[in-house]
Structure 1
Amino acid sequence: MSEIRNIKEQKLLYHLTSVENLDGIFKEGLKPRASLSGFNDVADPDILKKRQALQLEHYVPFHWFAGNPFDGSVQRNRPFTQFVLITVYRSTAKKNGWKVIPRHPLAGDSIDLLDYDQGFESIDWDIMNSREYHDSHCKSICMAECLAPGVVKPADFFKIFTPNDEVDALCAAKMRAAGVNVLTGVNQRMFYQ
């Protein structure tokens, strides 16, 4: 297995979605849940109700690394769904005033919705780097979020990671049909096996 890099020093943010959602994403961008209709929702309905109560449905959530507990849970619960990881540079998030929640937003009675710099510094990176998902505190830190306050356009995507050549080709075909050009790349290790 390859060496795990320090998450704090990485450059990207990650958003897991079903391949079925790519047509709409390439046409209109990655939208907050409150602006969506007719898409393949991969999130847990009970969690969505709690997120709505916290008014988080007006943001597009990204995670700080691939293979986080959310990604694994969604993929395990939907074994026949093909997924991709849409990435953006953290510098894009910082420049565009994205918000940060330094732990899972449902890990307590309230959330800390912070400006990017303050939120980034509030994350317990040492705990996150340990990736001890059997420890509830660590698991919560590993699901810290960076939230885009509106539509994230394909022009802001860095790269779309795919689990295999078949999904990569499908992703490329959907981009051609939409007139979009985003880098893609197969990286099977980023997906639940």
Structure 2
Amino acid sequence: MSDANIREKYFVYHLTSVENLDGIFQEGLKPRASLENFTDVADSEILRKRKALNLDRYVPFHWFAANPFDGRVQLSRPKEKFVLISVFRSFAKQNDWKIIPRHPLADDAIQLLDYNAGFEAINWELMSTRDYQNPECKSVCMAECLSPEMVNPKNFSRIYAPNDEVSSLCEAKMRVAKLATPISVNPGMFL
């Protein structure tokens, strides 16, 4: 399977600051509307628009790592440490997650679809080109898979860290929370 064939991959990904892991490991990955004390990595203007569309009631995941959102967040916070939390796409499908087939703020009205319809609505061929200079491609690359409820840490498939230091920090936090999610170091998934 080619790395460019995003449609055939197994996971969806959520980028978060390492500072959020204690809360995530103890209480789960929650929708923004349910959060209080956390390090927010998203742009405040985008957050206002997401809230107006009630998208703050979902936990957003992307279809591949190092997408335009991940890149922007990491570039705007160069001293912060990040991890990617992955969940199996099959879990998302079984639990009736929703899909927005392009950037949720790309159009006046969002297209919030059931998993199967949303999966088929994504332009996978365009997404796989990852041409961020092409506005349409960039928008498709920011398609989202949305959990309508908290994602329990026992349902995380793997956590990806950019280096051994962050991996060790994750392992320590997981020991405290009594979790055993696999961790992989993969610098290629980060800037």
SS at match of 2:188: helix
- Matching residue's letter, 1:64: W
Show CA shifts across 1:30-69 (max 9, x none): 0000000110000000000000010000000000000100
- For 1:16-31, what aligned pairs fall within 5 Å after superposition? 16-31=15-30
Q: Can you give the 5+ residue segments of structure 1 that lack an aligned partner in the other structure?
A: none
The reply on whether 1:120 has 2:86 as its aligned counterpart is: no
Amino-acid identity (%): 62
**In the alignment, which residue of structure 2 is the partner of 1:14?**
13
In structure 2, how many angstroms separate the alpha carbons of the residues matched to 1:164 and 1:73? 19
On the 8 A contact 2:4/2:129 being kept in 1, the answer is no
In structure 1, how many angstroms separate the alpha carbons of the residues matched to 2:4 and 2:52? 35
**In the alignment, which residue of structure 1 is the partner of 2:3?**
4
Show CA shifts across 1:91-110 (max 9, x none): 00000000000000000100
Q: TM-score, normalised by structure 2?
A: 0.98
**In the alignment, which residue of structure 1 is the partner of 2:185?**
186
- Matching residue's letter, 1:125: W
- For 1:142-161, what aligned pairs fall within 5 Å after superposition? 142-161=141-160
The reply on whether 1:97 has 2:96 as its aligned counterpart is: yes
- Matching residue's letter, 1:98: W
In structure 1, how many angstroms separate the alpha carbons of the residues matched to 2:84 and 2:16? 6
**In the alignment, which residue of structure 2 is the partner of 1:60?**
59
On the 8 A contact 2:100/2:143 being kept in 1, the answer is yes
Show CA shifts across 1:68-120 (max 9, x none): 00000000000000000000000000000000000000001000100000000
Aligned pair count? Answer: 190
- Matching residue's letter, 1:27: Q
- Matching residue's letter, 2:66: G
- Matching residue's letter, 1:66: A
Show CA shifts across 1:15-35 (max 9, x none): 000000000000000000000
In structure 2, how many angstroms separate the alpha carbons of the residues matched to 1:13 and 1:5? 15
Moved over 2 A (4+): none
In structure 2, how many angstroms separate the alpha carbons of the residues matched to 1:111 and 1:166? 39
- Matching residue's letter, 1:29: G
In structure 2, how many angstroms separate the alpha carbons of the residues matched to 1:57 and 1:112? 15
On the 8 A contact 2:162/2:190 being kept in 1, the answer is yes
Q: TM-score, normalised by structure 1?
A: 0.97
**In the alignment, which residue of structure 2 is the partner of 1:76?**
75
In structure 1, how many angstroms separate the alpha carbons of the residues matched to 2:4 and 2:186? 16
- CA-atom RMSD in angstroms: 0.6
